[in-house]
């Protein structure tokens, strides 16, 4: 089975530009998570969806960040306008929610550099 | 107090020895616990999960959970250089995982 797919793998952009990160979760998984990882702050949850519905976006740092999940097989994370402090690795993870728990599986990540 | 705490390391262990990684958590109601391995420049990879008190073994890996003490650990037996990575402890709270900062493990040949 294919794992979580993310694109692009690397993105370099200039401050002020719009950035869109894409994610395709594992087929059959009903939860999707967007994380950001930096050396200083570690792995931070930005937002997550259950059955395509945003449940908790309290980790989204500012209004410049937005995320959508139009269907079960696709999600986007958009930053507009981008700033140098947004430089980080952005991970998407998916899970099949079960009775007790759900194990999350991560995509390869998108390394974003904003200059 | 952080929700999930790990010793950031680095933890250095000789090849063939047992590596012991520890994690404490603050939410007494947590039910599920996970260990992820992350190689430099790669994404976190799920290697173990445990839901019940006691030990759970999978190959060279053993996860240990003590809910009374709010403590979870990961033991790696017969450590190999390929085990050198950062190990992230994650605790399920509500519908999401809370991650620790990770422990960097180095296995010395």
Of B45, B92, B100, which is closest to A101 when you measure between CB atoms? Answer: B92
Q: Is the pLDDT of residue B103 over 90?
A: yes
Mean pLDDT of A37-59: 93
pLDDT of residue B1: 59
Closest residue, chain B, to A107 (C-alpha): B43
Mean pLDDT of all residues belonging to chain A: 94
Mean pLDDT of A56-80: 95
Mean pLDDT of A47-73: 94
In this predicted structure, which of A16-25, B11-20, B24-33 has the lowest mean pLDDT? B24-33
Mean pLDDT of all residues belonging to chain B: 93
pLDDT (tens digit, 9 = 90+) per residue, A58-68? 999 889 999 99
- To the nearest whole Å, the CA of A98 is away from the closest chain B CA by 11
Q: How confident is the model at residue A100 (pLDDT cuts 50, 70, 90)?
A: low
Share of chain B above pLDDT 70, in %: 98
Mean pLDDT of B30-36: 93
Mutate to test the interface with B, among A60, A92, A104 (most CBs of B within 10 A): A104
Mean pLDDT of B71-87: 97
Q: Number of A:B CB contacts under 8 A?
A: 45
Q: Is the pLDDT of residue A98 over 90?
A: no
> Is B51 an 8 Å CB contact of chain A?
yes
Report angle CA B19, B23, B25 to the nearest 5 degrees. 170
pLDDT of residue B53: 93
- To the nearest whole Å, the CA of A59 is away from the closest chain B CA by 12
CA–CA dist B99, B5 (Å, integer): 9
Share of chain A above pLDDT 70, in %: 96
pLDDT of residue A1: 64
Mean pLDDT of A76-93: 97
Partner-chain contact B43 A109, CB within 8 Å: yes
- To the nearest whole Å, the CA of B31 is away from the closest chain A CA by 8
CA–CA dist B109, B80 (Å, integer): 8
Partner-chain contact A107 B42, CB within 8 Å: no
Chain A CB contacts of B101 under 8 Å are 42
CA–CA dist A41, A59 (Å, integer): 12
Mean pLDDT of B64-79: 96
CA–CA dist B45, A89 (Å, integer): 15
Burial class of A31 by CB neighbour count within 10 A (0 to 12, 13 to 18, 19+): buried
Burial class of B43 by CB neighbour count within 10 A (0 to 12, 13 to 18, 19+): buried
**How far, in Å, are A11, A83, B96, B102 from residue A22 at the CA level?**
12, 19, 21, 26
């Amino acid at each position: 089975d294919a794992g979580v797919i993310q694109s692009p793998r690397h993105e370099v952009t200039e401050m002020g530009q719009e950035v869109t990160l894409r994610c395709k979760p594992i087929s059959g998984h009903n939860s999707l998570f967007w994380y950001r990882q930096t050396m200083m702050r570690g792995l931070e949850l930005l937002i997550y969806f259950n059955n395509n519905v945003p449940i908790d976006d309290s980790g989204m740092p500012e209004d410049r960040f937005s995320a959508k999940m139009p269907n079960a097989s696709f999600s986007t994370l958009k930053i507009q306008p981008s700033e140098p402090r947004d430089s980080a690795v952005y991970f998407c993870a998916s899970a099949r929610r079960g009775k007790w728990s759900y194990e999350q599986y991560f995509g390869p990540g998108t390394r974003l550099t904003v200059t | 107090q952080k929700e999930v705490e790990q010793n950031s390391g680095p933890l250095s262990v000789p090849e063939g020895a047992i590596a012991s990684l520890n994690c404490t958590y603050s939410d007494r109601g947590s039910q599920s616990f996970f260990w992820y391995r992350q190689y430099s420049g790669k994404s976190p990879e799920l290697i173990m999960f445990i839901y019940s008190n006691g030990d759970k073994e999978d190959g060279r890996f053993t996860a240990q959970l003590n809910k009374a003490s709010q403590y979870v650990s990961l033991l790696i037996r017969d450590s190999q250089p390929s085990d050198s990575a950062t190990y992230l402890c994650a605790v399920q709270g509500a519908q999401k995982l809370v991650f620790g900062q990770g422990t960097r493990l180095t296995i010395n040949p």
